[in-house]
């Protein structure tokens, strides 16, 4: 059976779209439907209360994705003291698709560790902002990227609400976007969890169907009263993500580097306000302005007609 996924759907729309000529805009209509996500897509639930900050996931990712040798060993805990520009903790880079950061929280005895990587949104901003369709949300849940068509405009980096995609700025010949692909090629495709999940010695991450994970997350919160923050980050945030997070009650999400003000709408919904006017302008403007022209120049026309008589 042929599956109609979002991508082929868009491609189909393209035929009509291309007909709408160079202006290439009527096709925006395709983006105005909403996409609830693939029913059987997989996800990962990250229970940050269990993370011990050993950085094994970082090492596993590095090996699985054949990333360059790190600047510091993966068992070196001094990276937790590192800060990038603006006093911010480490982020994903072209050399590291996943990063663990340590957060000291006031009134909490132990620090909390936060692992993060691409959250693999249900409706990814990177995908919807890409003008060469380099991104694909696979039915398995991964957001993957095709570097052979990337032009390097970096709009995906602007659009990503989580500051995930990195870019190989150092390459002059073939700079590309670098981000976690949920080990799609080597593992997810074959039903295996991403390398970081499997490598974790502490069982921080649970791999499973996204729908199952959501109920599991709520069950955990319910089963351990007073232990967990009641927000399952990623269940609804920015339209939902394949990776979701639980944190402890005394370490709220906004204190451990999560943006809790992103809302529940997927990013593309903010853009639809504009996309909606495109077909309108395309169809109404020509008639409207030609009409203006006829009105504005009617005196000349009358004069000309009289002249001809």
Partner 1 sequence: MGMKKKKLIGFALMAALASPLGLVGVATSEVLELDSLKNLYGGVSFDHDMHIEMVSDNCSKCHHHTAGTEAEGPLCITCHANSPETDDPTCSGCHERDVFSAENMKKSWGTDLLHHRSKPSLKAAFHQNCLICHIDNDAPSGCSDCHTMTEVGEKFYDTGKHAPVPKADAHGHGGH
Partner 2 sequence: MKTFAKQGFEPVDTLQKPGVAVPWTFAEKMLLGLSPGDYVKQLVRNPLNWFFALVYIIGVPVLLGRFYYGLGWATHGSYDYPWGLFLGWGLFCMVPLSASGFMLGTTVELFGRKDFKPLERLGLLNGLLGYLFAVVFLQVDLGQPWRLIYPMFVSLGPAAVLFLVAWHVATYLSVQVAELVPAASELMGWKAPKKMVKSIVLGLTVAGIILSTLHQGALGALFTYAPGKVHPLWFSAQFQWFHFFCSSIFAGLSMLIVVSTLAKRFLGWRCDANFTDNLDRITLGLAKGCALALITYLIIKMTAIAHDNEWGLLFTGWGQYYIFEICFGVVLPLMLYAKALRQKSARIARFAAIIAVLGILLNRLNTALIVFNYKLYQEIPHWREVVIVILVYSTYVIVYRACLCRLPILYTWKGESR
Region 247-286 residues binding partner 2, contact defined as CB under 8 A: 259, 261-263, 267-271, 273-275, 277-278, 281-282, 285-286
Contacts of residue 275, defined as CB under 8 A and 6 or more positions apart, other chains included, come to 28, 29, 31, 32
Residues in the chain: 309
Q: How far is the CB of 119 from partner 2 (least distance, A)?
A: 13
48-87: contacts with partner 1 (CB under 8 A): 50, 52, 54-56, 59-60, 62-63, 69-76, 82-86
Do the Cβ atoms of 48 and 302 come closer than 8 Å? Answer: no
Angle between helices 298-308 and 268-296 (to 10 degrees): 30
Residue 40 sits in the site that holds partner 1 (CB under 8 A): no
Query: Does residue 131 touch partner 2 according to CB under 8 A?
Result: yes
Joined together, the tokens standing for residue 193 give 């969890």
CB of 282 to partner 1, least distance (A): 40
CB distance 240 to 79 below 8 Å: no
Binding mask 149-188 for partner 1 (x = CB under 8 A): ----------------------------------------
Closest CA to 64 of 170, 208, 180: 180
Residue 19 makes contact with partner 2 by CB under 8 A: no
The one segment of 68-76, 81-89, 113-121, 224-232 that binds partner 2 by CB under 8 A: 81-89
303 makes contact, choosing from partner 2, partner 1, none, with CB < 5 to 8 Å by partner type, with none
Interaction partner, residue 266 (partner 1, partner 2, none; CB < 5-8 Å by kind): none
Cα separation, 213 vs 208, in Å, equals 6
How far is CA 10 from its chain centroid? 18
């Amino acid at each position: 059976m042929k599956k109609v996924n979002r991508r082929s759907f868009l491609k189909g729309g393209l035929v009509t779209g291309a007909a709408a000529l160079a202006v290439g805009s009527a096709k925006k209509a395709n983006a105005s439907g909403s996409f609830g996500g693939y029913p059987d897509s997989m996800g990962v639930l990250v229970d940050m209360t269990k993370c011990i900050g050993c950085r094994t996931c970082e090492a596993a990712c590095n090996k699985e994705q054949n990333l360059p040798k790190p600047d510091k060993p993966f068992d070196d805990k001094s990276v937790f003291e590192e800060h990038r520009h603006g006093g911010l903790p480490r982020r994903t880079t072209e050399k590291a698709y996943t990063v663990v950061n340590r957060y000291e929280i006031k009134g909490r005895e132990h620090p909390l560790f936060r692992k993060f990587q691409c959250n693999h949104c249900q409706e990814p901003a990177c995908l919807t902002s890409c003008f060469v369709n380099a991104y694909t949300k696979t039915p398995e849940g991964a957001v993957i990227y095709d570097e052979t068509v990337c032009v390097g405009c970096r709009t995906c980096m602007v659009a990503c609400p989580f500051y995930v995609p990195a870019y190989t700025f150092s390459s002059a010949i073939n700079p590309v976007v670098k981000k976690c692909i949920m080990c799609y090629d080597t593992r997810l495709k074959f039903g295996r969890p991403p390398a970081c999940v499997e490598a974790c010695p502490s069982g921080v991450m649970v791999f499973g169907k996204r729908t199952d994970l959501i109920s599991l997350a709520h069950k955990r919160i319910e089963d351990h009263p007073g232990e967990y923050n009641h927000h399952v980050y990623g269940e609804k945030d920015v339209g939902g993500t394949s990776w979701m997070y639980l944190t402890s009650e005394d370490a709220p999400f906004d204190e451990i580097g999560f943006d809790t003000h992103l809302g529940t709408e997927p990013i593309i919904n903010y853009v639809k306000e504009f996309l909606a006017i495109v077909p309108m302008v395309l169809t109404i403007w020509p008639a409207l302005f030609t009409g203006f022209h006829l009105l504005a120049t009617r005196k000349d026309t009358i004069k000309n007609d009289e002249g001809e008589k």
